[in-house]
Each structure stands twice: as structure tokens, then as C-alpha cells.
Structure 1
Amino acid sequence: MAKLQRLIRDNRGFLVLLLFFGLFRTAVADWNPIPSGSMRPNLLEGDVVFVNRLAFNVKVPLTDVIVAKTAEPQRGDIVTFSSPADGTRLIKRLVALPGDVVEMRHKRLVINGQPDSYVPQGAGIEPVPGVVDGLRALRMEEQGAAPGSPQRTIQWLPDVAARDDFGPVTVPADHFLMLGDNRDNSADSRYFGLVPRKLLIGRAERILVSADILDHWQPRFNRFGKSLY
């Protein structure tokens, strides 16, 4: 016990710095490594994004208790949140707000009875372990018909059977519907349901750094500092 007390006393300044750093990360700003391809082609495995934890809520550190609301989430925001299924930290795109009636028909979103529009943007490759050449990916520019919906590039995998049809679902108060941009390779609200506001962590705003995990962690300097909006 005496040794522990001496260790704490001798390192008091460093321990206080660690405490404030931890509180800063849990309450103000954070970074989030991208571990999967669910947000391709906009976020890649190996990207590390800056997360503004004060974008929507002020919370008691280390809890989901909301002290104050700072702003309302918007369609198109890239959001980090805790999965309502198991608490895993996820990052997806917010596509529907409270009061929206949402459905998907043959991969195409319909919000409040208005279908989104889709314009082909070319082909890509989806890396898949064990598949030498990967899978064919079709990239589309998706434009939401709902007011305030920004354009975004999404990706379909025509050769993959996914949940291409769901709903209609009415989003209740203080809940949001999240989808991955890589629509056929994303576990999102089609599987775990709507996300309550208290589980929102923050808005991802910028790529801080990036490395290609499939090429010996080579830096992708062209992605450093890239804005997500």
C-alpha cells in the first residue's frame, strides 16, 4: 500500500493529465478507426476519423445521460453510436429522422413516399478475403427526395444477396435510421433496428489519417485531413 501511495504521489501530474485526457475523449472529441468496409467507398478500412462528441448532445462522461442537446442530427450525417443490439461502437450514415416513413424496395430508398434517385458512378472492387479479384461493386450517386437530403455516393454489390427490401417503418421520436454506404455489406438499422438518441456518440467530420491495411499499412496521404462533407 505504501508503494502504491508513493507511486501515485510521484506521478500525480501525469495521472491528472491522463484523467483530463480521458474525460476529453469521452465528452468533447474523439477519434474512431474504421475497422470494416460497411461505409465504402467513402470510408475505408484503415481510416481514422475525427468525431465531434458535442455535435448533438452534452453527456455526463462515461454515460449515456444527456445533459443538454446542442443540435439536431441531419439526414446525411455520418454518425458514431452504440449498437442497440449489443453496445458495439458503430459508424453509419443517418438517413431518416423522427417522423419519417422509410422503406426500401429493390435496394432503393423511399422516404415519406418519395423515392430517392440514383445515377451510376462507375464500377469498383469490393475486397473479400479468399476472393483473389474481389467482388464487382456498382457505385451510385444517391439523391434523397426528402428536404435537406444531400447527395452521397453509395455502393451496391449486385452478386450479393442482402436485405434489399424492408418497411415501411415510421421512425418514432428521438430515434434515427442508420444505413451503411456499402449497402450490401453493412449490418445496420435493417438488422438491429432504429437507434435512440441517447446512444449517439457524435458526428464524424474529417479523416485524420489513413493507412492501407491490405498493403502493409502504407500511408494513404491523399486521404489525410479529408472532409466528410
Structure 2
Amino acid sequence: MKVLYKFWKNNRSLIVFIALMSVFRSAVADWYEVPTSSMKPTIEQGDRILTDKMAYDLRVPFTHISLLKINEPQTGDIIVFDSQAADNRLIKRVIGVPGDTVSLVNNELIINGKKLNYEHGQNNIDSVDKVEILNGKKHTIRIANVPSQLAGFEMITIPDDYYLAMGDNRDNSADSRVIGLIPRGELLGKANKVIVSLDYDNYYIPRKERVLLSLN
């Protein structure tokens, strides 16, 4: 006991700081390292994403137990969630919310009977970037020149407490088209901006142009 007391006395400031920081990261805000290309071109591999964990719920720290629902995810939100189906933490864009009907034809979304508007963007070696107008806001998606099996699905109606989420790299994303709809209870928070980004292909050098970059 004396050893523990001495350790506490000598290190209590550090211990309290670590405890408070752990609670903060668990319940208020955290960062998420993106290891895949499923959200390109919006999010790059190596981005550290700031996640607002109070965007939708006030939770018991270190759990998924919601004490208070603060808000509901909106179409177009970029969400971070713990997927039981994928057995992994994922980041995707909300495409359909409860009550919506959604289908995908040739990589073009039809939501509640209306096809979204698309604008042609940049041509890449094996893909093309397009601007998708979702919920009145523009963001860029990436479409493969040779469409994958993910390029279409039949109309689905989103039930209560579930969300349809997709990656912006539409032909290279294991999202709701693969793992199914996202239960609300799996949500961790809303992705707001890139804190810092490390270029994996260039000796992990930080990408200066992506520091504190807001996500849309």
C-alpha cells in the first residue's frame, strides 16, 4: 500500500490528466486514422480525422450506452462507427436515413424517387471524379472506368434506427452494399475535419495542404 500511495503522490497529476484525456476521447472527441482508400477523394489514406462524439449522443464513457440523444445523422454526414458486421471501425457517408427509399443505377443514386444531380470532374488513370449533389451540398465521388458489382442495387426503404452509408470511392468501398444497413447504436460520431495527414507513399511526410481541412 505504501508503494502505491507513494506512486500516486508522485504521479497524481499525470494520472488525473491521463484519466481525463481518456474520458474526453471516449465521450467527447477523438481522432481516427484512415487506413484505406474507400473515402477517396474526400479522405486520403493517412488522414487523422477529428470525430465529434457528441454530435448525436451523450454517452457513458467507454461504452455505446446513450444517456441522451442530441441529434440525428443527416444525409451527407460523414460518420464513424463500430461495425459488428465488418468487425472493424469504419468511416462512410450517410446516403439514406430512416424513411428514405434509395436505389443505385450505374453509380447514380435515386433517393425518394429523384435522381441526384452529377457534374463531371477530374479524369484519372482508371477512374473519374464526379461532383455529387446530396441534400443540397456538393462533394466529390470517385467512379471506376470499369464498373464493379457495387455499381447498382435495387430500391430499399430504410427502417427506423438504421442508416444506409457508402464510401465516396464508390467502386472500392465495403459499405452498406456489403455489410448491410448501419444500426444507430453503432455510431461513434461525426467526422468534422482532418487534423493531420501523413503521406504513406512518401516516407510519412505530412501533407501540409490537408492540415485542419474541413470535410464536406
- Answer whether TM exceeds 0.5 for this pair: yes
Residue 15 of structure 1 aligns to which amino acid in structure 2? Answer: I
Match of 1:141 in 2: 131
Give TM-score scaled by structure 2 length.
0.93
Match of 2:195 in 1: 208
Measured after TM superposition, the shift of residue 5 of structure 1 is 5.3
Residue 140 of structure 1 aligns to which amino acid in structure 2? Answer: K
Q: Unpaired runs of 5+ in structure 1?
A: 126-135
- 1:84·1:195 contact (CA, 8 Å) conserved in 2? no
Match of 1:196 in 2: 183
Summarize deviations over 1:89-129 as a string: whole Å, max 9, x none: 1111111110001111121111111111222102125xxxx
Between the two proteins, the alignment pairs up a number of residues equal to: 216
Query: Alignment partner of 1:139: what SS?
Result: strand
In structure 2, distance between residues paired with 1:38 and 1:150: 20
Match of 1:70 in 2: 70
Measured after TM superposition, the shift of residue 161 of structure 1 is 2.4
In structure 2, distance between residues paired with 1:106 and 1:179: 15
Taking a change above 3 Å as real, the CA distance of residues 156 and 211 of structure 1, as seen in their structure-2 partners, is same
Query: Alignment partner of 1:20: what SS?
Result: helix
Residue 207 of structure 2 aligns to which amino acid in structure 1? Answer: R
Q: Unpaired runs of 5+ in structure 2?
A: none
Match of 2:23 in 1: 23
Measured after TM superposition, the shift of residue 159 of structure 1 is 2.7
* 1:110 to 2:110 alignment: yes
Q: Map of 1:160-171 to 2, 5 A cutoff?
A: 161-171=148-158
Q: CA RMSD in A?
A: 1.6
- 1:103·1:167 contact (CA, 8 Å) conserved in 2? yes
In structure 2, distance between residues paired with 1:118 and 1:84: 33
Give TM-score scaled by structure 1 length.
0.88
Identity of aligned residues (%): 38
- 2:86·2:179 contact (CA, 8 Å) conserved in 1? no
Match of 1:42 in 2: 42
